[in-house]
Amino acid sequence: MVEPQFPFCPQCGTRVEAGPAGAPIAPPASGTAAFSAISTGTGPKLSVMNEAGEVVQTITLDRSEATFGRSEADHRFGNDVFLSPVHAQLSTRAGQLFVRDLGSRNGTWLFIDGPYRLQDGDTILIGSQLIRFRRLGYPGPHPPEADQTRRLGSLTPSADIAVLAQLRADGSARDTYHLSPGRSIKIGRDTGDWVFPYDQTMSGRHAEVRSEDLEFIVLDDGSRNGVAVSVRGEKPVKAGQRFLVGDQTIRVDSI
């Protein structure tokens, strides 16, 4: 018997239709209902956040793959002109969540939650500035001059092995900052080695690019808006981490 006010099978939990008044209702023949993440709400949970850091929308991923975009994705943000029609994809495998950019115009950005080792070609988002990291190689010793005359110029540092380039909207480089072994720099709006006084989305002290041996590590320097790295290929996302697609900042609450 199933009570009309509680039309669910007591054995498997499947909803059943009520029959004539007083008539018994048979449970489904299968006995056990098939599992569905959408019915249990046990998939990864996300929060869409506004500029003040408040949650304006919650999303539960009910399948192993889901796309985000402006007009042709599973999760759509139709008023976001910075989003491509299909912009990025989230997927889950073996209890891990991954984000992938789908060739969008403005890229997909993953906010760092600790030191991040820069790779050649990485682009980092600091405030509203896109800054690309490029390796320059390791130059060999200069050959001696034929007439034994020494060249003028600074001997410290003796060589630069990487460069940071500020990118314009068209992808061209504007200002650059060269990096050498042992040379760490601070980036901010008001203070640091490289300052951007016109960028109101950048904190006074925002980020640091630290030299460690022959590698360079980027760290958030306690900024308000964080530091993000462009997603190339596929990157894992942890609970509590944020990513940016278009103008949408999305936080992963659980996996």
Work out the average pLDDT over 7-30: 59
| Amino acid at residue number 223 | S
pLDDT bucket at 38, cuts 50 / 70 / 90: very low
Work out the average pLDDT over 103-123: 97
Determine the pLDDT at residue 97. 97
- Kindly report the CATH class assigned to 113-135+156-227: mainly beta
Query: Does the pLDDT at position 196 exceed 90?
Result: yes
**How far is the C-alpha of 182 from the C-alpha of 140, rounded, in Å?**
18
Work out the average pLDDT over 37-60: 84
Query: Does the pLDDT at position 36 exceed 50?
Result: no
Mean pLDDT score across all residues of the chain: 87
**Pairwise pLDDT comparison (230 vs 27), residue with the higher score:** 230
Determine the pLDDT at residue 209. 98
Residues 6+ apart with CB under 8 A from 178: 160, 162, 163, 164
Determine the pLDDT at residue 211. 95
Determine the pLDDT at residue 244. 98
* 3-state SS class at 87: coil
Determine the pLDDT at residue 35. 46
Q: Give the tens place of pLDDT for each residue, 63-82.
A: 999 999 999 999 999 999 99
**φ/ψ of residue 37, rounded to 5:** -65, -30
Determine the pLDDT at residue 39. 46
**How far is the C-alpha of 164 from the C-alpha of 216, rounded, in Å?**
11
pLDDT bucket at 140, cuts 50 / 70 / 90: low
Determine the pLDDT at residue 17. 66
Determine the pLDDT at residue 149. 76
Determine the pLDDT at residue 18. 54
**How far is the C-alpha of 192 from the C-alpha of 190, rounded, in Å?**
7
CATH 2.60.200.20 occupies which residues in the chain?
Answer: 41-107+231-254
Q: Give the tens place of pLDDT for each residue, 197-243.
A: 999 999 999 999 999 988 999 999 999 999 999 999 999 999 999 99
pLDDT bucket at 137, cuts 50 / 70 / 90: confident
- Kindly report the CATH class assigned to 41-107+231-254: mainly beta
Work out the average pLDDT over 145-166: 78
pTM reported for the whole predicted model: 0.78
Residues 6+ apart with CB under 8 A from 176: 163, 164, 165, 166
Determine the pLDDT at residue 48. 97
Query: Does the pLDDT at position 5 exceed 80?
Result: no
Query: Does the pLDDT at position 8 exceed 50?
Result: yes
Q: What is the Cβ-side half-sphere exposure of residue 54, based on CA atoms within 13 angstroms?
A: 2
Residue keyed to tokens 């969008």: 104
Query: Does the pLDDT at position 195 exceed 80?
Result: yes
